[in-house]
């Protein structure tokens, strides 16, 4: 492992896995740019990291806007001189059965979970190619490996993130490392966006055993800390007591 400080841009950093990752990587000495739509949370987190001796800044970010994502990654480079790691973490999970015909929810899920990751990659690749090195970390889910009722669209987006990550790894030629992190049930606000009553109720039982977000942050930190010749490709992190 290496303790060399890196410049890390994290999307979806205002809560859950993104927030926990910011805390962990800042504690490891990395310099951060945090992005999300809830600026007041980013501001509070940035101040907390600074008070603890870490280095962080923030910028409002909508991952469904390709130009905004380009500006976010560019801002990290302008502030710190380079961009070593981009963590594509932003995601949504509005579950419902397909016959509920929640087409707007489907579109939003695809926009955030798939296009948001692609926009992050598109913003990072030119910068990292010019540097000759970089690391893209994409956050998927155990839903990238299995499908459950009410989660068809959500799982489809995570299957897509898994496929995109593997394609990027094969194309990178080793200069740019690619890591897919797939958490099992994790303490977060993801389930708060479920409007379908049956799906919301089912999710209560499904989420009865959950990982702390810090456990996933630790997995991300592990991948980021590896020396340049080591590429951690996939990490699946589940609660020990979970059957899913």
CB 135 within 8 A of CB 177: yes
Task: Give the active site residue among 119, 154, 206, 222.
Answer: 154
- State whether the Cα torsion 77-84-163-184 is positive or negative: negative
Cα separation, 162 vs 156, in Å, equals: 10
Residue 80 — φ and ψ, nearest 5°? -115, -5
End-to-end CA distance of the chain: 31
Q: Which residue from 116, 22, 145, 128 is spatially nearest to 85, judged by alpha carbons?
A: 128
Q: Which residue from 221, 194, 190 is spatially nearest to 91, judged by alpha carbons?
A: 190
Query: Chain centroid to CA 142: how far?
Result: 14
Cβ burial, residue 152 (10 Å; 0-12/13-18/19+): middle
Q: Answer yes or no: 119 catalytic.
A: no
Phi-psi region of 47 (alpha: psi -120 to 50; beta: other; left: phi over 0): alpha
Crossing angle of the two packed helices 16-27 and 213-224, in degrees rounded to 10: 50
Catalytic residues: 154
């Amino acid at each position: 492992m290496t303790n060399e400080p890196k410049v890390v841009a994290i999307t979806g950093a205002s809560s859950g896995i993104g927030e926990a990752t910011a805390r962990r990587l800042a504690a490891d000495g990395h310099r951060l740019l945090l992005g999300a739509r809830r600026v007041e949370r980013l501001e509070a987190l940035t101040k907390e990291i600074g008070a603890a001796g870490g280095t962080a800044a923030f910028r409002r970010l909508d991952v469904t806007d390709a130009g905004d994502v380009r500006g976010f990654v560019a801002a990290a480079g302008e502030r710190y001189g380079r961009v070593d790691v981009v963590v594509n973490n932003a995601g949504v999970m509005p579950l419902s059965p397909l016959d509920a015909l929640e087409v707007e929810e489907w579109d939003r899920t695809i926009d955030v979970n798939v296009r948001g990751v692609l926009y992050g990659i598109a913003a990072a690749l030119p910068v990292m190619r010019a540097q000759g090195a970089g690391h893209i970390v994409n956050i998927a889910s155990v839903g990238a490996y299995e499908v459950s009722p009410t989660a068809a669209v959500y799982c489809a987006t995570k299957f897509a993130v898994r496929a995109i990550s593997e394609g990027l790894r094969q194309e990178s030629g080793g200069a740019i490392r690619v890591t897919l992190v797939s958490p099992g049930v994790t303490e977060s606000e993801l389930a708060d966006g479920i409007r379908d009553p049956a799906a919301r109720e089912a999710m209560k039982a499904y989420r009865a055993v959950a990982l702390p977000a810090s456990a996933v942050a630790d997995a991300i930190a592990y991948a980021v800390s590896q020396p340049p010749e080591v590429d951690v490709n996939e990490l699946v992190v589940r609660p020990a007591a979970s059957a899913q």
